[in-house]
Amino acid sequence: MSFLLVTLFVISSCDTDETQTVATFTNLVMSDEFDTDGALDSELWNHEIGTGVNGWGNNELQYYTDRTENVKVENGYLLITANREDFNGSLYTSARITTQGLFEQAYGRFEARIKVPSGKGIWPAFWLLGNDCETNIWPQCGEIDIMEFLGDNPTTIFGSVHGPGYSAGQAVTKSYTLENDRYDTGFHVFGIEWSPESINYYVDDALYQTITPADVPGEWVFDSKFYIILNVAVGGNFPGAPNDETTFPQSMLVDYVRVYQQ
């Protein structure tokens, strides 16, 4: 797969001032605009159901379902909604959808226009996993977090990579903080541009970090196909549990998901 390196420049947003290489991808190869009300496109999205192992590996508190109470397309948006309710032994429900086995790609631009929910313990994410994670156990298979958000920190998102020797609390990560704005009050475009030599992270038009093989303290495992995940977790090791001030329901709205090649 080819890619185009177009420029080198210096940015200073969020304490970033290193020289960065920008890869531009222009050929749209996957798009879901969420224009048809009702269920998700089953040719593109799977539903993951249940609580996973150890709360999906993070001590999360929700039960993921495929019910319309938790995931649906409405008025041009995908809604993933976390609810407080007793359900199959869990105190919360939500949804987690993936393109595993349906759309998987190495390299390119992956982006989504999202309005995130808010509140202590609310943990929405837009991310990628290596398509061999079922046999090549995480973190060896690789994880690229395009956007993670903690609902009690409304001005900041995180972009990270996880791999062997740099996973979980040791992930290679950087935050991006809005000035005089919040992520939960409007839509923002979260994206990466991924080439064999680097992964660039964007919020809207701002490039805020580049991760290269030289930046990871272990093996670079981002050279195979990955699939997309969108979810809203409740609780877990990263955000902690909801508190008395957390209101429900909380919905993540997704305007579109698009993937490009050069």
Q: Which residue numbers are catalytic? A: 143, 148
Ramachandran region of residue 56, left (φ > 0), alpha (ψ -120 to 50) or beta?
Answer: left
Q: Provide the b/e sequence for 48-69 (b: ≥16 CB within 10 Å).
A: beeeeeebbebebbbbbbbeee
Query: Does residue 20 sit in helix, strand or coil?
Result: strand
Rounded-to-integer distance, Cα 100 and Cα 260, Å: 17
How far is C-alpha 241 from the geometric centre of its chain's CA atoms? Answer: 20
Rounded-to-integer distance, Cα 214 and Cα 20, Å: 13
Nearest to 258 by CA among 194, 191, 210, 209: 191
Please give the structure tokens belonging to residue 247.
């209101």
Bridging pattern class, strands 62-64 and 90-94: parallel
- C-beta of residue 258 within 8 angstroms of C-beta of residue 31: yes
Let me know how long the chain is: 262
- C-beta of residue 64 within 8 angstroms of C-beta of residue 197: no
Nearest to 157 by CA among 169, 181, 174: 174
